[in-house]
Amino acid sequence: MHVAYAGTLSCSVTTAAACTGTVIYRMSGVANAHAELPSQSTAAYASNVVCCTGVTGLGNACSGTFATALKLSGVTNAHSEQNSQANYVNNACIQAPSGGSVSIGYQATNCTGFDTTLGSMSAATNAHVGDGTAYATKICGTAAEGSQSLTFSISDNTIGFGTLVSSGARYATGDTLGSASDTADAHTISVATSASSGYTMTLNGATLTSGANTINAIGATAAASSAGTEQFGARLIVNSGTGSATSPYASTNWALDTGAFPDQVASGAGDGVTTVFGVRYIGNISASTENGSYSATLTYVATATF
């Protein structure tokens, strides 16, 4: 599944303290001003910074996917020129996230066709700068995020314990025969996203059921195997990747909190790295557990936050 999200670039002149986005360059005033790079910290320039927001992952590095907003005669107290000029070597840049796009242009009167106005300047080179109303020539910008995506897959939809016995635990396997030892994943789940706020994975469903009879789910507190006691539980192992299992499923013990379903079992960052989760299940019964063919349908849902 691929989901695209498009932000809209928005820039304004504000104070360094009030800027909640990315500073592209700093100015000595709102008109007839010198400029400095965003890495500088001259106190007199802190009241007038060009601050841009609206695009997740926006930066001011002159690398990757970027455009030069202004070229400066120095790192501070500088005259400015447009990016097509070749007189100055200190670049004030706007950087889009990987897979995105960014462009800067200079237009008379307004920034029609662009997302936003960064500011204005008195000439193409050797110029003073100001806010968007100071000069006729506007500094215009557009930026967009790349397509953000979520990928999610499960290795096996049908797993089983075989025959449950009260004398010892059974562990689910992909061949549905089950095992007496906890040595292999029943199946694996692979998740990756480039979404800015990562993903969560939840589990929903019910405990093992045969007609009106059930095997008790372990609950919200992770517990060790207890032969002769009804138990149905699960746990997740990170086989590879950067994601993590969520408590109580991250334990070497077992849990199944059906009372909290849909219950979060894992999460991960929006780094595009695929995490492979190994999922294991335990089944125990008591001597008084009713005979029958027990089954459960469990549903895993991965949700990305864009």
Do residues 175 and 275 both lie within one domain? Answer: yes
Structurally, how many domains does the chain consist of? Answer: 2
Do residues 14 and 87 both lie within one domain? Answer: yes
What digits encode the pLDDT tens for the residues 68-113? 999 999 999 999 999 999 999 999 999 998 778 999 999 999 999 9
Domain boundary residue, one of 113, 144, 175? 144
Domain boundary residue, one of 84, 116, 144? 144
Which pTM was predicted? 0.64
Do residues 221 and 129 both lie within one domain? Answer: no
Q: Tell me which residue range forms the domain holding 257.
A: 150-304
Do residues 125 and 199 both lie within one domain? Answer: no
Q: Which residue, 284, 281, 288, 290, is CA-closest to 165?
A: 284
Q: Do residues 249 and 236 make contact, with C-beta atoms less than 8 angstroms apart? A: yes
Q: Does some domain include residue 4?
A: no
What's the pLDDT score for residue 195? 83
Q: Do residues 156 and 136 make contact, with C-beta atoms less than 8 angstroms apart? A: no
What digits encode the pLDDT tens for the residues 117-132? 999 999 999 999 999 9
Do residues 132 and 165 both lie within one domain? Answer: no
Q: Does some domain include residue 295?
A: yes
Q: Do residues 139 and 133 make contact, with C-beta atoms less than 8 angstroms apart? A: no
What's the pLDDT score for residue 194? 83
Do residues 108 and 247 both lie within one domain? Answer: no
